[in-house]
Structure formats: C-alpha cells, structure tokens
Amino acid sequence: MTIEKQMKFWHNPSKGRRLVTFSWTKVQNFDFQKITDPQLSLKFSIDKWNIRNNFCDDSIPMIRPEIGTGLIASAFGAELLFKSDNLPAVKNNPIQSLSDLKNINSPDPLKAGYFPQIYKVIDCYKKNMPANYKLCQCDIQGPWNTAQLLAGNKIFLDIYDDIDFVCSLLAAVTSFMIKSVKKLKEAIGEGPESFYLQGVQIPGGARICNCSTDMISPDFYQKYLMPHDIHFFEALGGGMMHICGNNSHCIQHFNRIEKLYALEVNFNYLDVFRVSEMLREDVVLFCTGPVEFPLLTPLGEQTLQKFYKGNFPDKRNIIFHFNDPLDLNKCKKLYEAIKQDN
C-alpha cells in the first residue's frame, strides 16, 4: 500500500497530497570510527530502521551506506576524520589553487578516495540486507558544498580574487559527481528514473545538497553555481535539492532549474509556508525537521504546532519528514495529524 500511495503522490496531478516519514541517524553504543566495516555498517543501518519498533508511517523500508559528507571530496585528496560519536568529516582542505586542482588527474569513481570502501559496504548490503529493503545512494553533497570542503573558507575570498579557480573547481566537482552517481546507481541496482531517500522514492537521478548557498548572494548563485546544478540534473534526469539553512533568497533561481522535482527545506530554519508561496508550483516541498526540544528552534516549534492542528502549506504536494524523534507516541500523534488515507 505504501508504494501505491507514493506512486499516486508523484503521478496524480492534484495538489495538496501529503506523505509522512520518520527516520533516525544514530543508534545507541555505535562507534562511528567503524562505519566503513561492511558488516557493522549493515547492522547500524538496519538498527536505525528498527528503532521505529513496527510504527507504520508512509516510509518504504530502506538503508543507506554512510561515510558522512566527504565522500566526493575524498576523491580529490581530502582526508576524513573519524570520530566515535558521529559520521566522518573532512579534516583538511587539499585544493587551494588552480595548480593544486591540475595536479589531481581525473579521479576514478571506482578507485579514488573512500570509494573502494563504500563499494565493499554496498556489496555487503546487497548480499545480506532484508529482501523488502531498498538500497540508497551515499551522501554526495553538491558542487558548491564540496568545493567549500576542498578549498576551505578561503573560497569566499577566491570569489573576488580568483574566480577562474572557483569556476574550474566547481566544474571538476560537478563532472566527477555525475560520473560517481552513475556508478553508484549501477552498483546498488537503481534505475535512472528514480532514487530512494528518507523513506521516499523520488523521481530523477539523485539529490544534491546546497546548504552553503545561505552564504552567497542570489547573483553569485545565478551566475556561477546554477549552471553546474542544471548540468548535474540534466545529466542524471532531474532530482531533489536539499537546503538546510536560511537559503530563501536563492529560491527564485532554484525555480528556473527545469528538472528540479523536489526541494528539501528544514522547517526549523525557514518558514515553509512562505517557501511554498515562493516555490514553483510543480516542485514538491520536502519539509524536514525535528520533533522535540532541544533541537527545535522557536520557528520550528511554531511550525510543528501548526502541523498538529492540521494547518499545512498549500499550492503543492508535500512530504513531511521528521528526524531522530525520541518518543514514538509523539510520532504516532504527529502522523495521525498529518496523514492522508489515500
């Protein structure tokens, strides 16, 4: 029934349809320094799903190989810092100039950085995961996020002092992302027409993350970054964009990306009712955020109370995704407030 409901959500032209999903990012007593161990990674992913203890929402069961936000950056020489309490993070900024970039021959999406470890994890998942689970792509971030990881905060000076370097870095990252996503989709057995993330089957090839667009102007996005986002989506058949900060100033340009099918927005930081008014009408709003304090901001709490009362953004279909709830009873109450029966 869940798959049928999701198919209606994407293919029925009527507006105002809703899906509700929940997910968890951590489990107790897991040492993230061992996240590249295939068997431990598989157990971690399944344990995260099982936290729901048979609570039924609109999610399709799925698991994702995790190595944090630095997988693409690792192919360009970034080292990853492994900690026990969270996913790995990039610990150095290896590309400071155009000459640094030129010294890196075109990375191999099967052999560069941590890709070999990820493919071992994927192979283990495919052989051992439950038959009814879907396998997700890794976190690939996006051209701008990854460029910032590779160059560090210096990139904000390079915008003014060495824009040719910034453009070359964005082009190299985008080209590699396209190649690596195609290989990842092939490895996990995912077709070109859709992908799986956070309990939902989404049209297109992949998701990109544009978290750091909250630190650039709309004009910079339009002139220097949007062409790479368009190139990525055109090459992979479209997809979803994730933003998690106060990025509303760029939505006017996101609307011009023809193959943008969904925009993921955190209701903790952005007024999703206002975003829904700004967003192109055929783009699904993927509304994500926490359920409980202390993670909730005042805006997040106000928005959540509206959801409990049956007040939702209009004009479009919406996916409500809530992360890391502690109280399953709150999940059930929130699901009952938002869900649609068909």
* Partner residues linked to 285 by β-bridges: 263, 318
Which tokens sit at 133? 């689970």
Give me the count of residues in the chain. 342
pLDDT of residue 105: 82
Cβ atoms of 252 and 274 closer than 8 Å: no
Count of beta carbons in the 10 Å neighbourhood of residue 194: 18
Domains present along the chain, CATH in parentheses = 2-338 (3.20.20.210)
Ordered per-residue pLDDT tens for the chain, 342 residues: 587 888 888 887 567 899 999 999 988 889 999 999 999 999 999 999 999 988 999 999 999 999 999 999 999 999 999 999 999 999 999 999 999 999 998 899 999 999 999 999 999 999 999 999 999 999 999 999 999 999 999 999 999 999 999 999 999 999 999 999 999 999 999 999 999 999 999 999 999 999 999 999 999 999 999 999 999 999 999 999 999 888 889 999 999 999 999 999 999 999 999 999 999 999 999 999 999 877 889 999 999 999 999 999 988 899 999 998 888 998 999 999 999 876
Kind of pairing between the strands at 89-90 and 80-81 = antiparallel
Cβ atoms of 169 and 228 closer than 8 Å: no
How far is it, in rounded angstroms, from Cα 134 to Cα 138? 13
Is the previous residue joined to 61 through a cis bond, with omega within 30 degrees of 0?
no
Q: Which residues of 308-332 are buried (b: 16+ CB within 10 A; e: fewer)?
A: eeeebbeebbbbbbbbebeeeebbe
Using CB atoms within 10 Å of the CB of residue 102, give its burial: 0 to 12 exposed, 13 to 18 middle, 19+ buried: exposed
